[in-house]
């Protein structure tokens, strides 16, 4: 049997016993990319089909997001954050968690003013509008996931997004089906776009572009956190 087939058989045997609790330690780490993706989907299906509570230990962010409903982030045996996987990924508790879950943009910011439920932050040479943060300290960090940044060639006049930032493309890095676009918009910002979107925008290094970010997409944490 191939490595993928052996791993599939081992997982099937473990699940077939209908254990009250299943512990999987890096279950897909020894597989190549194709087998890992296939087994990830299969394992997710089996766990849901048989309703087996399962602890999965992994260093792979995609694996954690694909398999986990609830996530516990550990560093040297200490719990940094726990909660629903989607919340941990989108709203990390501090800079360490943000790095572990792969938030592309984490940069210092300073609180300028608060009006009703919105706040204005100074980020580098740019001002951003965000939801009023629960932290009152002036020195903050903002976290922005790359998929929450929309790129547009024309000035963004017909959008409800509060943050429409003139930017310049610094670099383009292809990562499989997606492209990582590093921008300078008064601070370093990373956008994640699909290859078709990159070709449609005809993106090149040095191009001027507009980066659009909705206020709720900017997660604010204390800089000391």
For residue 87, the domain's CATH number is 3.40.50.300
Instruction: Specify which of 50-64, 116-130, 159-173, 181-195 reaches the highest per-range mean pLDDT.
Output: 181-195
Q: Please tell me the predicted confidence (pLDDT) of residue 79.
A: 95
One domain for residues 76 and 129: no
Domain of residue 137 covers 105-141+217-222
Choosing from 43, 74, 100, the residue where a domain stops is: 100
What's the CA gap between 215 and 213, in Å, rounded? 6
Q: Please tell me the predicted confidence (pLDDT) of residue 9.
A: 81
CA angle in degrees (0–180, nearest 5) for 119-144-188: 100
Q: Model confidence over 68-113: pLDDT tens digits?
A: 899 999 999 999 999 999 999 999 999 999 999 999 999 999 999 8
Q: Where are the alpha helices (DSSP H) in the chain?
A: 3-16, 33-50, 61-67, 85-90, 95-100, 195-201
Q: Model confidence over 1-20: pLDDT tens digits?
A: 566 677 778 777 888 888 88
Q: Above 70 in pLDDT, residue 211?
A: yes
Terminal-to-terminal C-alpha distance of the chain = 48
Q: Above 60 in pLDDT, residue 39?
A: yes
Q: Give me 39's structure tokens.
A: 């087994």
Q: Please tell me the predicted confidence (pLDDT) of residue 30.
A: 75
One domain for residues 11 and 69: yes
Mean pLDDT of 129-149: 87
Mean pLDDT of 158-162: 76
Choosing from 100, 128, 162, the residue where a domain stops is: 100
Q: Please tell me the predicted confidence (pLDDT) of residue 2.
A: 66
**pTM summary value:** 0.85
Residues whose CB is less than 8 angstroms from the CB of residue 9 and which lie 6 or more positions away in sequence, other chains included: 1
- Sheet bearing 163-175, strands edge to edge: 150-152, 208-213, 163-175, 178-184, 188-194
Rounded to 10 deg, the angle between the 33-50 and 3-16 helix axes is: 10
One domain for residues 88 and 122: no
CA torsion angle 139 143 149 153 (round to 10) = 30
Residues whose CB is less than 8 angstroms from the CB of residue 180 and which lie 6 or more positions away in sequence, other chains included: 104, 146, 171, 172, 173, 174, 190, 191, 192
CATH number, position 121: 2.30.30
CA angle in degrees (0–180, nearest 5) for 213-217-218: 90
Q: Please tell me the predicted confidence (pLDDT) of residue 7.
A: 74
One domain for residues 7 and 95: yes
Q: Model confidence over 184-198: pLDDT tens digits?
A: 999 999 999 999 999
**Beta-bridge partners for 139:** 110
- Read off φ and ψ for residue 206, nearest 5 degrees: 95, -10
Q: Is 116 left (phi over 0), alpha (psi -120 to 50) or beta?
A: left
pLDDT-derived band at 179, boundaries 50, 70, 90: very high
Q: Above 60 in pLDDT, residue 225?
A: no
Whole-number average pLDDT of the chain: 89
One domain for residues 79 and 64: yes
What helix, strand, coil percent values describe the chain, rounded to 5?
30, 40, 30
One domain for residues 11 and 72: yes
Choosing from 72, 100, 128, the residue where a domain stops is: 100
One domain for residues 86 and 7: yes
Mean pLDDT of 147-154: 92
If one counts the domains in the chain, the total is 3
Q: Please tell me the predicted confidence (pLDDT) of residue 134.
A: 77
């Amino acid at each position: 049997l191939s490595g993928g087939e052996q791993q599939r058989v081992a997982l099937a045997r473990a699940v077939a016993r209908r254990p009250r609790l299943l512990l999987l330690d890096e279950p897909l780490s020894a597989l190549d990319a194709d087998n890992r993706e296939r087994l990830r989907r299969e394992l997710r299906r089996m766990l849901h089909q048989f309703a087996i509570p399962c602890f999965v230990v992994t260093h792979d962010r995609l694996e954690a997001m694909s398999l986990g409903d609830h996530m516990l982030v550990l560093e040297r045996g200490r719990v940094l954050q726990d909660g629903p996987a989607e919340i941990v990924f989108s709203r990390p508790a501090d800079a360490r968690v943000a790095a572990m879950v792969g938030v592309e943009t984490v940069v210092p910011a300073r609180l300028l003013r608060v009006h009703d439920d919105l706040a204005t932050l100074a980020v580098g040479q740019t001002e951003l509008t965000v939801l009023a943060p629960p932290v009152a300290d002036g020195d903050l960090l903002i976290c922005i996931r790359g998929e929450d940044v929309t790129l547009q060639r024309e000035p963004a006049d017909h959008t409800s997004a509060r943050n429409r930032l003139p930017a310049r493309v610094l670099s383009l890095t292809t990562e499989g089906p997606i492209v990582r676009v590093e921008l300078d918009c008064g601070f370093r910002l990373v956008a994640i776009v699909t290859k078709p979107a990159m070709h449609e925008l005809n993106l090149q290094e040095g191009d001027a572009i507009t980066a659009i970010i909705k206020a709720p997409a900017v997660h604010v944490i204390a800089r000391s956190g």
